[in-house]
């Protein structure tokens, strides 16, 4: 058994030696040249220049000075070309780190405030001192002394109650936060994937590209155009046909989404009873209604402001002061020369144009004065109406939706003292 194993090992060794000699004789030099290629590429500026200089020690028949100049030029061009290739390869090998979260921007829209820069907050676990009321000053002092906790509510949470707001602590009021995946990580990676661009990369970019149809939302209100975008165009672009049940499901989804748009148009008209339609609109799609500018958060304040605007609109605007506002007029009396003014037709033309220009300028200034006066009057009335409310808030306690007391304090009021022998 031992002799058979030795013979088999000896035959395998002889076979391996024979095959190695054949491969070395046939492909050995090619493998060596392939392995030496990077070294030759780096040293090529020096070897090319030395070979050229060696083959032309006298400059191909020219004087020795021209030979040295040509040698230096060849050396410089070869060196710069080689190093340029090396730098380009280095840029492709050492590239930016891929981040699927921020796509290399290292920033995202703030998830706390959804890019608005403002967040609502509540005061929890507030423990008032004896005889202290929950006024704004007392609550602020309690937060400073760590007797109350300030809790920031994300924009995704909607408590349907009016709450105060402040700058978002996550993004410092900018609406932009840093990418959590890129934080404290080196933004450089070493990879050979970028040396050659694969063809499917461009195809994936084109496939994910959104078409810049700016009016597509408004055009989808027409059922015929909606049928083209939802059914006909995918069939043309994709090269396949939808089944009837699939078309029916797509159309049902379209009609369901149009319910929100139809109600939204009715709410935007602000006809009597629009606040009830707004509640129905919120129930149809609460997520979309949360950021919809048509939705009014504080309906009583909105109605009171609209009433004040109507009251201000019915007021008579005082006449505009004489020297209020300036407009740079394009035509002046100096626009006509003395020779032109000798002609009566030119004088009539100048008088007519300057008079019309002055009337147009006066109309523009009157409209600006009226708009400014009404806006200032509205601000004064709002300040006058809100001042008693602000004073009452400073003196009275804050509502329960803003300040929530601690559970321990509530338990103290409800528990009774119990004696041991009872």
Which of 132, 151, 178 terminates a domain? The answer is 178
How far is Cα 378 from Cα 4, in angstroms, rounded to an integer? 110
Antiparallel, parallel or unpaired: β 165-167 and 118-126: antiparallel
Neighbours of 340 (CB within 10 A): 13
The whole-model pTM stands at: 0.43
Q: What is the pLDDT of residue 414?
A: 46
Query: 53 or 323: whose pLDDT is higher?
Result: 323
| Mean pLDDT value across residues 315-323 | 87
Query: 155 or 239: whose pLDDT is higher?
Result: 155
**Residue 75: which of 48, 105, 37, 51 has the closest Cα?**
48
Per-residue pLDDT of 137-147, as tens digits, reads 788 888 888 88
Instruction: Give the whole-number percent of the chain exceeding pLDDT 70.
Output: 75
Q: What is the pLDDT of residue 50?
A: 59
How far is Cα 138 from Cα 396, in angstroms, rounded to an integer? 11
Q: Do the domain assignments include residue 139?
A: yes
Helix axes 344-395, 136-144, angle to 10 degrees: 70
Task: Please check whether residues 261 and 313 belong to one and the same domain.
Answer: no
- CA distance readout (Å), 81 to 67, 84, 298: 21, 5, 69
Mean of the per-residue pLDDT values of the chain: 76
Per-residue pLDDT of 93-135, as tens digits, reads 777 777 778 877 888 888 888 888 888 888 888 777 777 777 7
Task: Please check whether residues 251 and 325 belong to one and the same domain.
Answer: no
Q: What is the pLDDT of residue 422?
A: 40
Q: Are the CB atoms for 241 and 232 separated by under 8 Å?
A: no
Task: Please check whether residues 339 and 374 belong to one and the same domain.
Answer: yes
Give 281's contacts (C-beta < 8 A, 6+ positions apart): 260, 263, 264, 267, 289, 292, 295
Which of 250, 285, 320 terminates a domain? The answer is 285
How far is Cα 29 from Cα 298, in angstroms, rounded to an integer? 85
Q: Determine if residue 184 is left, alpha or beta; phi over 0 gives left, psi from -120 to 50 gives alpha, anything else beta.
A: left
How far is Cα 289 from Cα 263, in angstroms, rounded to an integer? 11
**pLDDT tops 50 at residue 364:** yes
How far is Cα 76 from Cα 91, in angstroms, rounded to an integer? 22
How far is Cα 316 from Cα 245, in angstroms, rounded to an integer? 63
Q: Do the domain assignments include residue 342?
A: yes
Q: Do the domain assignments include residue 56?
A: no
**pLDDT tops 80 at residue 383:** yes
- Three-class SS of residue 405? strand
Q: What is the pLDDT of residue 406?
A: 58
Helix axes 2-55, 64-93, angle to 10 degrees: 130
Q: Do the domain assignments include residue 382?
A: yes
Task: Please check whether residues 329 and 379 belong to one and the same domain.
Answer: yes
**Which residue has 């009404």 as its token pair?**
374
**pLDDT tops 60 at residue 153:** yes
Q: What is the pLDDT of residue 4?
A: 64
Q: Could you give phi then psi for residue 71, rounded to 5 degrees?
A: -60, -45
Which of 178, 199, 223 terminates a domain? The answer is 178
Residue range(s) defining the domain that contains residue 361: 309-395
Q: Do the domain assignments include residue 165?
A: yes
Q: Do the domain assignments include residue 365?
A: yes
How far is Cα 371 from Cα 33, in angstroms, rounded to an integer? 84
Q: What is the pLDDT of residue 63?
A: 55
Domains: count for the chain: 3
Per-residue pLDDT of 166-208, as tens digits, reads 889 888 888 888 888 888 777 777 666 655 555 555 555 555 5
Query: pLDDT grade, residue 356 (50/70/90)?
Result: very high
Task: Please check whether residues 320 and 245 belong to one and the same domain.
Answer: no
Q: Are the CB atoms for 281 and 264 separated by under 8 Å?
A: yes
Q: Do the domain assignments include residue 293?
A: no
Give strand pairing partners of 95: 189
Query: pLDDT grade, residue 420 (50/70/90)?
Result: very low
**pLDDT tops 50 at residue 49:** yes
**Residue 122: which of 159, 172, 173 has the closest Cα?**
159
Neighbours of 214 (CB within 10 A): 7
Q: Do the domain assignments include residue 148?
A: yes
């Amino acid at each position: 058994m031992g002799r058979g194993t030795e013979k088999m090992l000896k035959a395998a060794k002889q076979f391996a030696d024979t095959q190695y000699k054949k491969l070395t004789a046939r492909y050995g030099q090619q493998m060596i040249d392939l392995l030496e290629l990077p070294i030759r590429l780096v040293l090529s500026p020096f070897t090319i220049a030395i070979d050229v200089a060696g083959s032309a020690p006298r400059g191909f028949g020219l004087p020795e000075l021209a030979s040295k100049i040509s040698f230096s030029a060849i050396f410089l061009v070869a060196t710069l070309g080689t190093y340029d290739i090396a730098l380009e390869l280095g840029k492709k090998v050492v590239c930016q780190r891929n981040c699927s979260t921020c796509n290399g921007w290292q920033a995202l829209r703030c998830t706390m405030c959804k890019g608005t820069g403002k967040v609502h907050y509540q005061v929890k676990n507030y423990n008032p001192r004896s005889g202290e009321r929950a006024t704004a000053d007392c609550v602020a002092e309690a937060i400073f002394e760590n007797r109350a906790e300030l809790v920031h509510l994300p924009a995704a949470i909607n408590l349907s109650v009016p709450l105060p707001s402040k700058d978002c602590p996550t993004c410092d009021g900018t609406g932009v936060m840093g990418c959590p995946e890129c934080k404290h990580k080196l933004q450089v990676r070493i990879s050979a994937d970028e040396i050659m661009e694969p063809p499917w990369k461009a195809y994936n970019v084109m496939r994910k590209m959104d078409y810049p149809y700016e009016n597509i939302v408004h055009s989808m209100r027409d059922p015929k155009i909606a049928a083209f975008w939802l059914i006909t165009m995918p069939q043309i672009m994709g090269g396949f046909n939808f089944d009837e049940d699939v078309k029916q499901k797509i159309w049902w989804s379209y009609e369901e989404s149009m319910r929100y748009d139809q109600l939204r148009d009715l709410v935007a008209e602000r006809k009597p009873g629009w606040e009830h339609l707004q509640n129905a609109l919120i129930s149809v799609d609460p997520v979309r209604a949360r950021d919809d500018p048509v939705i009014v958060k504080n309906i009583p304040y909105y109605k009171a402001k609209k009433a004040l605007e109507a009251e201000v609109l019915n007021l008579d605007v005082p006449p505009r002061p004489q020297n209020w506002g300036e407009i740079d007029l394009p035509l002046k009396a100096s626009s006509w020369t003395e020779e032109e003014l000798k002609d009566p037709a030119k004088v009539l033309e100048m008088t007519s144009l300057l008079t019309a220009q002055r009337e147009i300028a006066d109309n523009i200034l009157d409209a600006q004065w009226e708009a400014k006066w009404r806006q200032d009057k509205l601000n004064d009335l709002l300040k006058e109406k809100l001042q008693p409310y602000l004073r009452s808030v400073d003196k009275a306690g804050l509502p329960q939706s803003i300040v929530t007391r601690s559970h321990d304090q509530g338990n103290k009021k409800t528990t009774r003292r119990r004696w041991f022998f009872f």
